[in-house]
Amino acid sequence: MASILVISDTHFGLNSSTLTNHKQVDCLIWEIWRYGKGCGEIVLLGDIFDLWRARPESALRDSRYLFERLSDLDVKISYVVGNHDHHLAVMSQEMDFLGRVARGDIYSVYTPNLNWNQTLDGLNVDMYCPIYKVSCFQRNYLFTHGHHLKGVQAFSIQLVEQLRKLSGEEISPADLEMMMAYAYEGMYRSSYIGEMVEFEQKLWKVSCIFNKMNNGILRKYAPVERQYDTILAFLRDQRVGKVDCFVYGDTHKAGIYRRDGGPMAVNSGSLVRERRNGNTEELPDTYVVIDDDCVAVRQLGRQEPLFTRDYC
């Protein structure tokens, strides 16, 4: 059975984005067929575009060659929106609202999970926000960008949860995005103003400090292991049903971890060379290949996988 390829955090629009280089895109496409079992689906796992620090036109221009190559593959493309490209979800909601306005539908519509079809520079994509769940290989996989698992954003979700409890309502996956939507849109608009981009970077550093304090600065765990309890809590609180494999990105730190027969947690890393503070990524240019017998984290240009784990 064909593999599922997972790519996240390409951050098109930034100079550090690896796949703006056509040769690197060609290398990725070659590796898909060389090391996998063919490709049945490609999951773009958020922050594909960096709409916080680059103008949309620039980000889309940088992604053009990758999208052309993906279109040539003629496989299903699924796109799970992240925080840096959250404006795509907002545009979908606004288009839906305008359609209802045209029909005279004045009633509010609440959709826990967004799913729509969109064409991005000629590439037909199934869009999801904030989660995408699929069953294949006789297992259940849940894909989400993962930005709601940490730092200031995780605190905002806790606040929403407390407010919902007061009203007797249950928190839903949509609340993951609703609380921070105002901030995401502000970041999107700030991409046109250099001073605001600098402010966003300072805010990001504060969020990282908060995240370290929340996780325990002195804990010497692998990145995925450190977030495993948070992942389990998310799966439990969001009532998403049985999940055998939880796949996310956001942290730019690739890895695989599983504990005591629980779900496998996989981080796809990133396809950028530098972090926002200018330092080189510890493990740059990583992606995930999901097969019927194992999950592998691969590094672009490397023959052997960085990490691999079977389901047993």
Report pLDDT for 218. Answer: 42
Cβ neighbours around 176 below 10 Å, total: 25
Q: What is the average per-residue pLDDT within 70-77?
A: 92
> pLDDT value at position 152?
47
* Cα–Cα distance for residue pair 179/298, rounded to 1 Å: 34
Beta strands (DSSP E) in 74-113 are: 76-80
Confidence band, pLDDT 50/70/90 cuts, at residue 117:
very high
Q: What is the pLDDT of residues 1-31, one digit of tens each?
A: 689 999 999 999 999 999 999 999 999 999 9
State residue 307 phi and psi, 5-degree precision. -140, 145
Q: Residue 184: what pLDDT? A: 75
Return the domain boundaries, the chain. 3-147+224-310
Predicted structure pTM score = 0.84
Q: What is the structure's pLDDT at 243?
A: 97
217 pLDDT more than 50:
no
Tell me: pLDDT of 43 over 90. yes
> Residue 138: CA atoms inside 13 Å, Cβ hemisphere, count?
4
Contacts of 186 (CB under 8 A, 6+ apart): none
pLDDT in tens, 255-300: 999 998 899 999 999 999 876 554 556 789 999 999 999 999 999 9
User: What 3-state DSSP class applies to 162?
Assistant: helix
Task: Read off the pLDDT of each residue in 210-219 and give the average, rounded to a whole number.
Answer: 51
Pick the more confident residue, 120 or 151: 120
Q: State how far the Cα of 285 lies from the Cα of 252, in Å rounded to an integer.
A: 9
Rg (CA), the chain: 19
Question: For 140-169, how does the pLDDT look when each residue is reduced to its tens digit (9 = 90+)?
Answer: 999 999 988 865 455 555 666 666 666 666
Residue range 3-147+224-310 forms a domain whose CATH class is alpha beta
Q: Indicate the angle between helix axes 181-190 and 87-103, nearest 10 degrees.
A: 110
219 pLDDT above the threshold of 70: no
Give the span between the Cα atoms of 12 and 18, in whole angstroms.
Answer: 9
Averaged pLDDT for residues 224-242 = 89
163: helix, strand or coil = helix
